[in-house]
Structure 1
């Protein structure tokens, strides 16, 4: 075999020719042949290097081979170096024995056969090389063990001192190790955390979600990241952020998962505090906005109520103190009437909004034609449109005519939208009203070429008390209630209303959609016809007693109720009612509340104390300007069957009279 160049062979002989001969024989091994001419020189060579074998001549001047061998064996480094003695003399057994006793591995006689020498030296060279390889591997293994011990110690220190929790799992996702920080965060010990034991310390609300997601990630060799709550005690909950990644060997084989757990409880608490602060700020901002809107609304309300009063009172004072010609008188009366109607509309809007906010707005729904409703609304606004030279066009689709709804409230919807269109459309503008059919719905479109709606305000256009700006309110008038009433009335009639505008100066389009009424589909008569409704409010044969201290109100109520066929008697005070009940037994009493001397509450209480045959069970309606929910409850508690607010809705009053007249012992009605 060929020796490594690091293998050295020491040749010791005092004759140079013998060294040359040995070198010639062993040169083929490729080793490093070191020559020494004496025992002393050989010992010096052994001071600096190791040899695979030493060929040592026995007969040398000065220090012979045996003495040299003795000194070689006395050194620790060369104690086990193989020595082959060479001699030209016949060897006696004593000499051979002496050589072997000094540690020789062989004894060769000169002249030495080359093959034998080469064979023996090769064996020792090969043994030396193997010994060197074993030493190298042992050193490498020791270095690896040292590195492993260092790595394990480093991991132990890192794990024990880490500010975040660390855990290890097997390939299936079951825990095999948790560090002290992980145990402190989650509230378990190392044995409790192993396997799937760590799941038992999780918050119950997170358990199922985390367990399913965790093992799915482990099975599919994916990273995991999520927020998890651990419940150390019933009172102590820790928020954590858990992350994990697959671990692979150098060969790319999955060997498990490594993860971290970070305590984020303080961060979560800070986020909750911050969210609460933001909510409080938002609530405060909303309250401030609401207060500002209320203040603006009250300012507008004051302005809108005082403006018509100024004209009415001014003209009334002039008419009383001066004489005018017929033309001026007519102009004054028209101004008073116009401003009175405007003020009445403001009051109506306020009352409608009050009923809407209390959820008590009542509808009388039956099958009606939208064409008639639209025509009536158009006719009512046409004079104002003509005054501004506004073109007003109407288109009808007869197939979209019939719906089930309250005709008065639907007319109010169309009238409000048309009034807005006229109000915000400049002179010589255009307003188009279209009734059409779309996907089983009746669609009313009112489009104008007016001032339009700013995109920022468009989402708020149907909100109560909202105006685009106060200057607009002053310029065009109004309380900002009309469109809110439109939306609510439309929804009560099972419809929807939307607004569209490309921006200021581009006009606006309002679209009302209502379900069409099918007489064939309405077999149970859930939506009666107008003829059926009118017949239900026929008061023929019914006697009504009215008490109100205002003469105008009494005359209005008498005329209205008599038009429905009833017999009406009206008085001005509670005492007159009690006097009449001695000889008169009406079917229904309609009583004002605020009256001088004895109010309506005292009257109804006095009636309820009477026996039945003297009117004690007389059905009674409280008709009053006190219109709050508390006023309604007070009237019912006093003994009235129903509370109706002024200004009175004629149909509501007639329907109430008809109902109570048919049931003399009717129970109190909650106002809708």
Structure 2
């Protein structure tokens, strides 16, 4: 079904509009009735989005007459092609007819209008309008197809250009890959030559075995030198390597620095670090075994450890002798004085000798506290509770020396602790920190919780510890104080070791911090 077309009927008399609607009544027409030139102009300017097939315009109207209205309509570009038929009942002179044609009308009808004539003329203009609309639509379609064709041609040209560029890039890529393959082949040949030279001349014991049956394919000179086995093991699956403590060596897995024993041809048992790697040789999986003989290194390390122990024992013996010799010399002096002068032993001298004996006994007691096998009595305790118990004592010591102490204790879980030993550790470290600071400085004691540890942090504002002294911390009888045995910090390290709590030291010119990490006991 064809779409309705719009027809404007313009007349100032309502009955004339009704007559026009009656004559032109049709389902194909949408007749818009207007009663003045002003209404026509407003309609064409604002209200009518659809094209108009024909305008039936009365000549004599109040305000704008038909001629003036048509002149204004024709000035609008979008309305210039609308056919206009003048209708009049007043003047039939040729001058008025010519004026109508002059302003832009295409026909001039006199009232009373013959209905069939009017209908035929309107039908003709409607057909013409529809024909123009079809031409317009076809023109638009043709223009759109032309644009699509131009766009297709443009894309085709771009695709052709791109294809040429891709072909050029493909040719370049093929040339580059060919060159790379040639270079890779040369590098592979050089790499194989380097591997062969390295394999033969390496100081490590090296052997290549087939992964499928562990048959020896090749061994190098170092293998022959250390094991005593040469070409006679090629083609065999003999195994001279065995792990320590009865473990199984994963022969078909990649391992690194696996400590093993191996037996030489002369039945000597030697130690080595074994590493393996799976490699391809002529499209066959093979196992490359690389071993570093550490037999002599272990002997050297054992001897060095023995000498270090002897040296440490000597240092400790010298320290004990030096510390105990002083009180022993004092006591011997008094006893010799009384023997030679035959004087009676006075009570004040007895008191001095007892003090010296107690000092020697305390040194021996502190030294015994260093023993790793000392029995501890650990139970679940709160570290904060132990610190709070010692807080008045540490605060009093700080006040006496004109220094300050601050405590920052976070909420921490219970730990497995020996109450007496932890008290001794905290007191020793706090006293050391107070002694290291000038008056007015502050000692800070903190606790906090990390992922799996509770951290005890003791920080002073002293001058710090020299770098060369850091590695000696915790060594018995080592001290930088003018007066001291050098056992206090060593005892702290021993207590921490019995609690499996590592000690970390951070020191600078602004002070020193000791961090002791206690492991949180899992459920």
**Same fold, TM-score > 0.5, yes or no:** no
Smaller-chain TM-score bracket? 0.3 to 0.5
TM-score normalised by the chain length of structure 2: 0.40
TM-score normalised by the chain length of structure 1: 0.33
